[in-house]
Amino acid sequence: GGYQSLVQAEGSQIPFTNGYFNSAVSNSVLEHIPDIDAILFETQRVLNPGAPFIFCVPNHQLLPELSIARLFDGIRIHKLANAYRNFFNRIARHYHADPPEIWEERLTRAGFQIERWWHYFSPQATAVMEWGHYFGLPSLVSRWLTGHWILVPERWNLGITYRLVKPYYDQDPVMDSGTYTFFITRRSE
């Protein structure tokens, strides 16, 4: 009941006319799409001139900040560190963890102007997210066995997790060391 309608479509073939929408939001999705340029051009097409396009993506600092890879680098096992980074990128299905300059080139080509951007998600928060992948494996087993990610989806059941991760997700932007970037852009007039 949260939507008036729901449409599923390829991101490069959105079934709406030119200038149909007054805004677009993407929350940590664009990094998972191989042909990102087609998506950006199509997003631009369906937005009104001047409409905002707001999104966030991991950036070029994500892989260097992975804690397990940093451990391997610290003990000078660089091949294993790089293998781990490749493994993590593969299981996260990332195609684009790029710096703002690369995003600016893409966005400009597609007809967007960046109003502002900032990094967020500190290296410490990145470690919590990284380890969350592994501590989440019991939920994967639960999903396979029962069809549900969380067996008891009640606030009390997630209380410990909430208290442990809140200090990391409730942080101020970290301009220099953040591993994710938040963009506010507009479709060019």
68/58 Cα distance (integer angstroms): 18
Q: Is the pLDDT of residue 34 over 90?
A: yes
pLDDT tens sequence across 92-131: 999 999 999 999 999 999 999 999 999 999 999 999 999 9
pLDDT at 177: 84
How far apart (Å, rounded) are the C-alpha atoms in residues 31 and 92?
10
pLDDT at 160: 87
Range of lowest pLDDT (13-17, 78-82, 165-169):
165-169
pLDDT at 133 over 80: yes
Q: How far apart are CA 171 and CA 90, in angstroms?
A: 27
Say what the pLDDT of residue 108 is. 97
Q: What would the pLDDT profile of 38-64 be if each residue is shown by its tens digit? A: 999 999 999 999 999 999 999 999 999
Helix (H, G, I), strand (E, B) or coil at 166: helix
Average confidence (pLDDT) over 78-94: 96
Q: What's the pTM?
A: 0.87
Instruction: Give me the pLDDT at residue 161, please.
Output: 86
Across the beta sheet with 112-120, what order do the strands follow?
A: 24-27, 52-58, 180-187, 112-120
